Amino acid sequence: MAAKIFKQGDEVAVLDDSFSGRVKSYMGSRVVIETTEGFELEFAENELVKLHNATDIKSFVSSQSMGRILKEKEEPKKRSFVKEKKSKKDGFVLEVDLHIEKLVPNKKGMSNYDILTLQTETAKRQIEFAMRNRMQRVVLIHGVGEGILKAELDFLLGRYDGITFQDADYQKYGLGATEVYIKQNPDR
């Protein structure tokens, strides 16, 4: 069995989260910590960093990999939530995935209202982008869920002139997508 990196009472921080605590014990190979809020949580050793002592951190992680970890935490990862697809038969179709995991790297701390607002604002921004760039079709991938986002999208799309919409192709997208048709004004 490998030597344990942490001992009872060590103050540690969780690498991929925004909380810290004290080491209570080991449960097998997992470290049990008590957070500052009083919750007991289990983590793998490589998910924790000891606080207040730089030499312990260097023995835990080499300085090169520590630099990489810190850089990953500071720089947001580039994400693509707009998928473009071309088909000879259908012309250009802008596909917008509105699943929250595609829009933000971490949804912790976001209320359901915040999530729904971000999703509807993204849909609105992409529809207006398509209108400005004279795109005729947009597919909004919203998922099935409880239907709240779909209802919000139906309300949003109903407010635009020159737009019709319907459920997208079931074989291609399943039940969780809406296809938007934008009527182009020829004198623009």
Classified as helix, coil or strand, 144 is coil
Distance CA 31, CA 129 (A): 49
Q: Indicate whether this model's pTM tops 0.95.
A: no
Q: What is the mean pLDDT of residues 168-176?
A: 88
How far is the first Cα of the chain from the last one, in angstroms, to the nearest whole number?
72
The residues pairing with 92 across neighbouring beta strands, listed in sequence order, are 86
- CATH numbers and ranges of domains, the chain: 11-74 (2.30.30), 82-182 (3.30.1370.110)
17: tokens are: 């989260």
* pLDDT tens sequence across 98-128: 998 988 988 888 999 999 999 999 999 999 9
* pLDDT tens sequence across 26-53: 888 888 988 877 888 888 888 888 876 5
DSSP-derived pairing of the beta strands 177-182 and 137-141: antiparallel
To the nearest whole number, what is the mean pLDDT of the chain?
A: 80
28: tokens are: 């097998």
Residues of the chain by 3-state class (helix, strand, coil), percent to 5: 35, 30, 40
Between the alpha carbon of residue 137 and those of residues 20, 90, 144, 159, the distances in Å are 48, 9, 21, 17
Looking at residue 47, what DSSP letter applies?
A: G
Q: Find where tokens 């607002």 sit.
A: 117
* pLDDT tens sequence across 70-82: 666 666 656 656 6
